[in-house]
Amino acid sequence: MSKKIVLIGNQNCGKTTLFNILTGSFQHIGNFPGVTVEKKTGYIIGSDDELIDLPGIYSLSSYTLEESIAVEYLYHEHIDLIINVVDATCLQRHLYLTMQLRELDIPMILVLNMIDEVKENQNDIDVLKMKEILGLNVIPISASQHLGIDDLLQALKHTQSQKTISHSLYSSQFYQIVSPLYNIIEKKTSIYHLPLHYCLSKVIEGDQSIFSLLHFHQDEKIKVEQMIKEIEKKTQKDRQLFIIETRYQYIDQLEKKCFTMKNAYIHQKSEKIDSILMHHYFGIPIFLFILFLMFYITFYSLGSFLQLFIEKGILFLSNEITNVLLYCNVKGWMISFVSDGLLIGVGSVLSFLPVIILLFFFLSLLEDSGYMARIAFMMDKPLRQIGLSGKAFVPMLMGFGCSVPAIMATRTMSNHRDRLLTVILTPLMSCSARLPIYAMIIGVFFQSKKFAVMIMIYSIGFITLILSSLILGHFVFQGEPSAFLLELPPYRFPTMKNVLLNMKEKAGDFIHKALTIILLSSLIIWFLQSFDLQFRMVEAQDSLLATIGQYLAPFFSPLGLDDWRLSTAFLTGLTAKESVISTLSILTSQFSSLSEALSLLLTPHSAISFLIFSALYMPCIATIAAIKREMNSFVLAIMTVIFQTCIAYCISLLIYQLTLLFL
């Protein structure tokens, strides 16, 4: 029979790497029922067993949205087996979750990941001894090196759905102290078929929900509370501290019996690297230099070369297909449909694929190496000056890629005020979908100063975000940002497989968008710019689209953008920002190239205005939907749209007028 298997562990324990190995390419991304927290599911290679990758958590006492969802899933879903992944280089911290999972009385395999690092440091873990003490199947692996994976797969095949924990989880002293309470809970759990140790620890911690599950009467509750007070009096410890210390005492004893340490771990090596990269004075300048280098390679050197190469290839293919259609005497409207609607619309966007891939390549390197977490830590202090928490930095940095996953990443923020502010401000970061717009406009008007103008656009986005945060934080969402606690993972060389998988996923998303949303919007734009109200094929200036665009043009005229084609492009950008370029390509198909058309439609001054408005105006529909889902507020989503568009208009207007005066 197939089993439902859950993969769970702390953050940065290598869980995602192991999930990718066990499931291969047979993965499905979805949401947990009733909530918007993303989950990964897949089927283990060579079996029908379903594997669910839960969000990383540190304990079963949840604080953030992702942690609470993971805990709820464990409590309420039927699970045949748990794979608990722990970082073998820091057993004490990771085994705390293991102790809590054992209390659930669900069959479990303990996976000691990064065992190669343990051996490299000439340290040793007695796996057989650990297996004997814990009463679990313990498998040492290195997910990044593919070591021990076969052993894990064999263990999955032979592990039966039966309870594997021993009757006693903790020391005899613990059971002596809680003995009267233990007897009461044991009777209740046997009646209602609930895990004994889980209920015992939750009752001691004071979790009121467990009293309802065990159907305690009022007099029984009073009796239990008196017993807990006796425990507190006997141990001289708070009830919650008593449970926490009990678990850590067990872990300490386990570590002494099973772990032999000879040399320092990679964590101490990480501290030496941190002394440079997280230096009090030089840490942020080093990060800014890394960011500068990342942008330079992405937008100026390698990215620009690859983009030009693909652009020429798409143009050649487009011309060849058009020539074939002409040779076959295909009707004019069909040639226009294929050439202007399909090839120009989608092809103009696909040429920017190398830039998108390069950007996500560098973001993956920052994340997998452990440096991303340190950037967030360093940025906590400056972000606090503008009313944000350091936790806001990671979603905002992800906003360079796409605003949708960036907004979803705010789930790790436990403070509602911080999360609300971050969700509203994150779309101000220039997502990768805007890159085709920047690259095209800058390439036409500012070729000799390409990199400087690109940095200027991103800088305006940063400055706008800072000013918006100060205004909103001071007048709308008043309060102090929450304290920032963050685990700093050790530095590790990113595995190229993970980096390439991430690049493949993002490139796939981009191509999928190009072949669906952008293709559909391109065809709609082609239809609207080819036909009038009587559905007669006409020139673009007499079309349905021209009529719509002419109503919008006066609104953009103060920005120097008075041509109807420009305002229409902004409108279609709501489906996907890449559509701005595909729309302009279709609407200017009568010109020899889009570059020629732009040089006639815009001046250098209005080109700057076009760039700034494109960078700041309301996000795409997918982002608006993400805001609505994440914050469960349609009003907030609309407010974000209005707020961003007003800011974009005002800043574009100001800069356009200033450039006219001084440049």
pLDDT one-digit tens code per residue, 545-575? 777 778 888 888 899 998 888 888 888 777 7
Q: What pLDDT band is residue 613 in, cutting at 50, 70 and 90? A: very high
Q: Cα–Cα distance between 353 and 36 in angstroms, integer?
A: 28
Q: Is the pLDDT of residue 654 over 90?
A: yes
Looking at CATH, the fold of the domain delimited by 4-158 is given as Rossmann fold (3.40.50)
Q: Which two tokens stand for residue 600?
A: 């006639």
CA atoms lying within 13 Å on the CB side of residue 458 = 19
The SS3 call for residue 316 is helix
Mean pLDDT of 43-64: 80
The band of 140, judged by pLDDT with boundaries at 50, 70 and 90, is very high
Taking the domains of the chain in order of start, what are their residue ranges?
4-158, 172-260, 284-662
Is the Cα dihedral 348, 311, 338, 513 positive or negative? negative
Decide if pLDDT at 508 tops 70: yes
| Residue range 266-285: mean pLDDT, rounded | 77
Dihedrals phi, psi of 111, to nearest 5 degrees: -105, 115
As a whole number of angstroms, the distance between CA 138 and CA 152 comes to: 9
Model confidence at 314: pLDDT above 80 = no
pLDDT at 162 > cutoff 50 = no
Q: How confident is the model at residue 32 (pLDDT cuts 50, 70, 90)?
A: very low
- In tens, the pLDDT along 196-223 reads 888 888 888 887 778 888 888 888 888 8
Poorest-confidence range of 156-170, 334-348, 407-421?
Answer: 156-170
Indicate if the pLDDT at residue 612 is higher than 90: yes
Please say if the pLDDT value at position 75 is more than 80.
Answer: no
| Segment among 156-165, 208-217, 265-274, 416-425 with least mean pLDDT | 156-165
Most confident of 198-212, 333-347, 608-622: 608-622
**Cα distances (angstroms) measured from residue 183 to each of 200, 225, 344, 354, 534:** 10, 15, 75, 65, 84
Q: Specify the pLDDT at position 1.
A: 67
Q: Above 90 in pLDDT, residue 264?
A: no
Give the pLDDT mean for 386-415: 72
Residue 29 has pLDDT above 50, yes or no: no
The 3-state DSSP composition of the chain as helix, strand, coil percent (nearest 5) reads 70, 5, 25
pLDDT at residue 608, rounded to an integer = 93
Mean pLDDT of 320-342: 74
Of 334 and 584, the one with more pLDDT: 584
Between 152-161, 190-199, 283-292, the lowest mean confidence (pLDDT) is in 152-161
User: With 60 as the cut, is the pLDDT of residue 421 above it?
Assistant: yes
Tell me the C-alpha distance between 244 and 460, whole Å.
48
- Within 77-217, residue ranges assigned H as helices are 91-103, 115-120, 127-134, 149-158, 172-177, 179-192, 196-205, 208-213
Tell me: pLDDT of 651 over 90: yes
Better pLDDT: 502 or 424:
424
The answer on pLDDT for 25 being more than 70 is no
Q: Tell me the average pLDDT across 474-492.
A: 63
* Most confidently predicted of 132-146, 477-491, 495-509: 132-146
Q: Does the pLDDT of residue 35 top 50, yes or no?
A: no
The average pLDDT across 393-405 equals 73
Place of tokens 């953008």: 561
Q: Report whether pLDDT(367) > 70.
A: yes
Q: Model confidence at 33, in pLDDT bands (50, 70, 90)?
A: very low
**Six-digit token string for 437:** 């717009």
Q: Rounded distance, CA 42 to CA 22, Å?
A: 9
Q: What is the DSSP string of 320-375?
A: HHHHHHHHTT--HHHHHIIIIIIIIHHHHHHTTHHHHHHHHHHHHHHHHHTHHHHH
Taking residues 98-107, report their average pLDDT.
88
Residues above pLDDT 90, as percent of the chain: 8
- Mean pLDDT check: name the lowest of 59-73, 200-214, 560-574, 589-603: 59-73
Mean pLDDT of the chain: 79
For 177, residues 6+ apart whose C-beta sits below 8 A from its C-beta are 231, 234, 235
Average pLDDT for residues 632-636, to the nearest whole number? 82
Higher pLDDT, 226 or 72: 226
**Is pLDDT of 228 > 80?**
yes
User: Averaged over 607-634, what is the pLDDT?
Assistant: 83
Contact 545, 568 (CB under 8 A): yes
CB 390 within 8 A of CB 483: no
Residues 237 and 231: their CA atoms lie apart, in Å, by: 8
pTM above 0.75, yes or no: no
pLDDT computed for residue 160 by the predictor: 56
